[in-house]
Amino acid sequence: MNQTLLEPQVQSQPQTAETIVAPDVPERPPAPVHPRFVKPQRVAFVQSSWHRDVVEECRIAFLAEIEARHITRAQLDLFEVPGSFEIPLHAQLLAKTRRYTAIVAAGLVVDGGIYRHEFVADTVIKALMDVQLRTEVPVFSAVLTPQQFHDSAVHHEFFRKHFVIKGIEVAEACANTLHSLERLRGQVAAGIVG
């Protein structure tokens, strides 16, 4: 016995606005909601002018991300120094004013041979840590020391993009640390920690 399988007939209906179904589009995740600060914050951003076209990407990304975290452009002061080696002294003088709740440093240390630029980078990072510990004003570093940097369009473009990422990361670290310090200082004042 031969049996033929027949597909069921589907009658087509004219499509109207009510019958058209949009394809499934994944929903965009909601924008993150960042906590607000209890007290006003003021941040200094100290940037080296050496390879400005690369380092400024950090500042631009930092400004956008920190504003999303409730620190407005009016609460930020920007400073530019010749190179990364000059950043720690500026950070220390700014911290001593007690005007700033945080200081962010951005720079690119290259050239001069592997030992010289690693020495400069290590010196800058250590000095920034010393400023932070002496003044109790948090200091954040986006001072980068690439192993390989050639003054070429490809390397400039790569590090410009890399500094965008670093700008976002340093803004996140800055805001999170300021929130943490705000909570801790409140606990100390309340006698909870002490």
Query: Which residues form the catalytic set?
Result: 116
Q: Phi/psi class of residue 7: alpha, beta or left (left: φ > 0; alpha: ψ in -120 to 50)?
A: beta
- Write the CB contacts of 64 (distance below 8 Å, at least 6 apart in sequence): 167, 171
Q: How far is CA 181 from CA 138, 150, 176, in A?
A: 9, 40, 9
Element containing residue 107 per DSSP (H, E): strand 102-108
Alpha-carbon gap, residue 90 to 169, rounded angstroms: 22
Closest CA to 93 of 56, 59, 55, 134: 134
Contact 128, 105 (CB under 8 A): yes
Alpha-carbon gap, residue 55 to 76, rounded angstroms: 17
